[in-house]
């Protein structure tokens, strides 16, 4: 049984890592075409903390909610779970972490050049 548990833990971590990488790729793609307002908002600290303060629901975000909803529709693992207030699945949380990291990294790279 211990071997099974260890295998499942490794698979769970691999799945989390996979979704974080997918989120980062999508965040990089998004950042290249984002409006200034959206990019500044997304990169202003950890955008996922903003949702936790309000509802914990990224799909309810006034600026990025529709975008997140659309991006996540095609993947059944990228969902909210539980009873209200619902929270992101582990996969969605990992995807959002990767996405947020990418947005912040992109903003950091371009922000200084905007003031020239």
3 domain residue, yes or no:
no
31 domain residue, yes or no:
yes
User: Which DSSP string corresponds to the chain?
Assistant: -HHHHHHHHHHHHHHHHHHHHHHHHHHHHHHHH--HHHHHHHHTTTHHHHHHHHTS-GGG-TTTHHHHHHHHTT-TTS-EESSSSPEE-HHHHHHHHHHHHHHHHHHHHHHHHHT-
Task: Give the model's pLDDT for residue 37.
Answer: 92
- Average confidence (pLDDT) per 10 residues, the chain, 116 residues: 95 97 97 94 73 69 89 92 83 94 94 84
How many domains does the chain contain in total? 1
79 domain residue, yes or no:
yes
Task: Give the model's pLDDT for residue 47.
Answer: 63
Q: Which of 88, 106, 86 is nearest to 97 (CA)?
A: 88
10 domain residue, yes or no:
no
Task: Give the model's pLDDT for residue 52.
Answer: 56
Task: Give the model's pLDDT for residue 85.
Answer: 73
91 domain residue, yes or no:
yes
Q: Which domain holds residue 50?
A: 16-114
1 domain residue, yes or no:
no
């Amino acid at each position: 049984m211990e071997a099974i548990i260890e295998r499942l833990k490794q698979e769970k971590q691999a799945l989390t890592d996979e979704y974080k990488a997918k989120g980062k790729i999508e965040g990089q793609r998004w950042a290249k075409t984002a409006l200034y307002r959206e990019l500044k908002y997304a990169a202003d600290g950890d955008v996922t903390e903003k949702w936790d303060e309000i509802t914990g629901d990224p799909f309810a975000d006034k600026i990025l909610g529709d975008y997140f909803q659309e991006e996540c529709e095609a993947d059944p693992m990228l969902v909210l779970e539980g009873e209200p207030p619902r929270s992101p699945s582990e996969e969605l949380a990992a995807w959002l972490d990767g996405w947020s990291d990418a947005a912040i990294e992109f903003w950091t790279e371009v922000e200084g050049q905007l003031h020239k």
